[in-house]
């Protein structure tokens, strides 16, 4: 599943293998130009001005190869070899406020600081206020490390070629990358290179989830129980329950502290809502449990918290821990091979590992591995830009969907509930990694659909989109 994230060196090996197999470089450039042009056509309208800034290398050749495919666009194409001499003309053309700038100045081979003259050209692009599509990598960014080589283009979109490169997913590079997109079929031979991380996109979920059996009933599709909600945070429990419903398990039960039972129950219909009381037990049909959404207020019953801890330690069914529950669940092994999932954001991960948030963001894969190893080889959903899904060993899925609109309260509650609703279904537990990655991808792609429709939206509006795409 997924496209491997590969190093610049691996990319060069892949290209070399393609030339040895008889692929021609000019044919690949032509294919790349066509694919890039298709993206530019979607981002612009007939009559729009498109300014193509091309360097002297293959990156510039890729950008110039778009020209013949950009129909009904007013093209301004400039090959920049001597930046000092070109700066005045670049500024003049930028002053015309093109609808889109195509950045093809430098590619993935750059690993040294740029001269002040090149930095001045890049600064002019960044100061123009125009939308930018960068080819393969933003010019001035080291595609291997994510470091800025003196100055780097701040792209709106980066369309990388063949496979993602490590520097493009570094947290420190995010402000330069914009939205990262991967174009895979660029005319090279099939890739044999491998990587620890794999880019997961829509094509990885063709035919998934499988069709529901026509003779299925409520028992066929599982029963998810959510322990959540508290005074001032009861909405989180409602969001989690509604998200679980979107995954279409057979039954959804929500157990909340008695103080918030009425406001929670009054917002839900097919969800069964129960007030927590000492001695309450899981329904016998329970097939997955979600712990934590909205259990943030002081005064959570001690028995309820202990009940959650015991479920994490010993329940034979899947248990998903989110939000406040991440502060309670004990490190160490869990009973047998029971499925466990934790869903921390970087700040929560830092607390769990006794790291700083900066350390987590700088070493995301390592943080995921450490969390899984410490918490009973749990599956880890390390949230953030390009959320990671993985365990202490094996491949790590790198999510491709989502946008900054998800940075709202309640977003994590929706994700936890949706994952619980998926993992409650026995038919979806045969491929645990795929099911979790699918849930994360659906959460992001729902937000992408909303963002394409309107500029302002709330987390509640994500719910109807879950599972639709």
- Specify the pairing of strand 340-342 against strand 319-321: parallel
Question: What is the per-residue DSSP string for 383-439?
Answer: -STT-EEE-SSS-EEEE----GGG-STTHHHHHHHHHHHHHTSGGGSTTHHHHHHHH
Phi and psi torsions of 278, nearest 5°? -55, 135
Query: Pick from 250, 219, 257, 216: which is nearest to 236 by CA?
Result: 257
pTM (predicted TM-score): 0.96
| Residue 297 confidence (pLDDT) | 82
| Residue 299 confidence (pLDDT) | 82
Q: What is the pLDDT of residues 103-139, one digit of tens each?
A: 999 999 998 999 999 999 999 999 999 999 999 999 9
What average pLDDT does the segment 447-469 reach? Answer: 96
| Residue 447 confidence (pLDDT) | 98
| Residue 336 confidence (pLDDT) | 80
Confidence of residue 337 (pLDDT cuts 50, 70, 90): confident
| Residue 245 confidence (pLDDT) | 98
Q: What is the pLDDT of residues 266-321, one digit of tens each?
A: 999 999 999 999 999 999 999 999 999 999 888 889 999 999 999 999 999 999 99
pLDDT at 97 over 80: yes
- The Cα 368–Cα 409 span in angstroms is 23
- The Cα 27–Cα 182 span in angstroms is 19
Task: Please list, in sequence order, all residues whose beta carbon lies within 8 angstroms of the beta carbon of residue 216, skipping any fewer than 6 positions away.
Answer: none
Query: Partners of 291 in the beta sheet?
Result: 227, 321
Quote the percentage of the chain above a pLDDT of 90.
Answer: 97
Q: What is the pLDDT of residues 33-85, one digit of tens each?
A: 999 999 999 999 999 999 999 999 999 999 999 999 999 999 999 999 999 99
Q: What is the pLDDT of residues 225-276, one digit of tens each?
A: 999 999 999 999 999 999 999 999 999 999 999 999 999 999 999 999 999 9
Task: Report the largest interatomic distance among the alpha carbons of the chain, rounded to a whole angstrom.
Answer: 79
Query: What is the CATH T-level fold of the domain 218-465, as seen in this structure?
Result: 3.40.1190
Query: Pick from 150, 155, 160, 161: which is nearest to 138 by CA?
Result: 155
- The Cα 380–Cα 375 span in angstroms is 9
Q: What is the pLDDT of residues 152-190, one digit of tens each?
A: 999 999 999 999 999 999 999 999 999 999 999 999 999
With both helix axes pointing from N to C terminus, report the angle between 411-423 and 234-246 in degrees, rounded to the nearest 10.
40
Do the beta carbons of residue 184 and residue 163 sit within 8 Å? yes
Region class of 140: left (phi > 0), else alpha (psi between -120 and 50), else beta: left
SS3 state of residue 63: helix
Confidence of residue 394 (pLDDT cuts 50, 70, 90): very high
Do the beta carbons of residue 33 and residue 161 sit within 8 Å? no
CATH architecture classification, 3-193:
3-Layer(aba) Sandwich (3.40)
What average pLDDT does the segment 409-413 reach? Answer: 97
Q: Where in the chain is the domain with CATH 3.40.1190.20?
A: 218-465
Question: H helices of 209-301, where?
Answer: 234-246, 261-265
pLDDT at 1 over 80: no
| Residue 2 confidence (pLDDT) | 86
| Residue 246 confidence (pLDDT) | 98
Query: Partners of 330 in the beta sheet?
Result: none
Phi and psi torsions of 27, nearest 5°? -70, -40
Query: Partners of 290 in the beta sheet?
Result: 226, 320
| Residue 102 confidence (pLDDT) | 98
Q: Where in the chain is the domain with CATH 3.40.50.10260?
A: 3-193
Look at the block and give the residue holding tokens 């069964």: 272
| Residue 153 confidence (pLDDT) | 98
Q: How many separate helices (H) and strands (E) can be counted in the chain?
A: 14, 17
C-alpha angle 216-222-226 in degrees, rounded to nearest 5: 150
Do the beta carbons of residue 420 and residue 413 sit within 8 Å? no
Phi and psi torsions of 147, nearest 5°? -80, 150
pLDDT at 404 over 90: yes
Question: What is the per-residue DSSP string for 19-34?
Answer: HHTT--HHHHHHHHHH
């Amino acid at each position: 599943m997924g496209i491997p994230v590969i190093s610049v060196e691996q990319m060069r090996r892949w290209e070399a293998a393609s030339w040895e197999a008889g692929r021609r470089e000019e044919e690949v450039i032509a294919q790349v130009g066509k694919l890039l042009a298709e993206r530019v056509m979607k981002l612009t309208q007939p009559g729009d001005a498109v300014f193509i800034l091309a360097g002297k290398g293959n990156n510039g050749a890729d950008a110039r190869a778009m020209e013949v495919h950009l129909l009904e666009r007013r093209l301004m194409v400039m090959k920049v070899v001597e930046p000092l001499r070109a700066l005045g003309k670049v500024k003049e053309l930028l002053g015309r406020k093109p609808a889109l700038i195509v950045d093809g100045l430098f590619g993935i081979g750059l690993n040294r600081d740029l001269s002040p003259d090149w930095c001045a050209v890049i600064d002019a692009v960044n100061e123009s206020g125009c939308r930018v599509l960068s080819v393969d990598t933003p010019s001035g960014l080291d595609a291997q490390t994510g470091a800025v080589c003196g100055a780097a283009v701040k792209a709106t979109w980066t369309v990388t070629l063949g496979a993602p490169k490590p520097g493009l997913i570094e947290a420190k590079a995010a402000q330069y990358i914009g939205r990262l997109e991967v174009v895979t079929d660029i005319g090279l031979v099939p890739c044999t290179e491998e990587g620890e991380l794999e880019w997961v996109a829509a094509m990885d979920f063709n035919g998934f989830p499988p069709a529901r059996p026509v003779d299925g009933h409520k028992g066929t599709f599982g029963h998810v129980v959510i322990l959540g909600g508290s005074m001032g945070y009861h909405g989180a429990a409602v969001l989690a329950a509604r998200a679980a419903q979107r995954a279409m398990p057979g039954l959804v039960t929500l157990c909340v502290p008695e103080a918030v039972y009425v406001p929670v129950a009054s917002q839900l219909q097919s969800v069964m809502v129960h007030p927590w009381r000492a001695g309450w037990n899981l329904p016998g049909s329970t097939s997955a449990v979600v712990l934590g959404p909205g259990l943030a207020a002081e005064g959570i019953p001690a028995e309820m918290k202990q009940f959650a801890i015991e479920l994490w330690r010993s329940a034979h069914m899947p248990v998903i821990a989110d939000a406040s529950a991440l502060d309670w669940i004990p490190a160490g092994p869990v009973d047998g091979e029971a499925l466990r999932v934790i869903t921390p954001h970087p700040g929560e991960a830092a607390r769990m590992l006794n790291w700083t948030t900066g350390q987590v963001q700088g070493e995301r894969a390592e943080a995921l591995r450490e969390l899984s190893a410490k918490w009973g080889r749990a599956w880890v959903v390390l949230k953030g830009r390009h959320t990671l899904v993985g365990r202490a060993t094996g491949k790590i899925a790198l999510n491709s969907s989502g946008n900054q609109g998800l940075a709202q309260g309640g977003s994590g509650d929706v994700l936890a509930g949706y994952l619980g609703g998926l993992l409650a279904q026995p038919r979806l537990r045969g491929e645990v990694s795929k099911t979790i990655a699918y849930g994360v991808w659906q959460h992001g792609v729902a937000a992408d659909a909303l963002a394409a429709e309107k500029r302002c939206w709330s987390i509640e509006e994500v719910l109807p989109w879950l599972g639709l795409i």
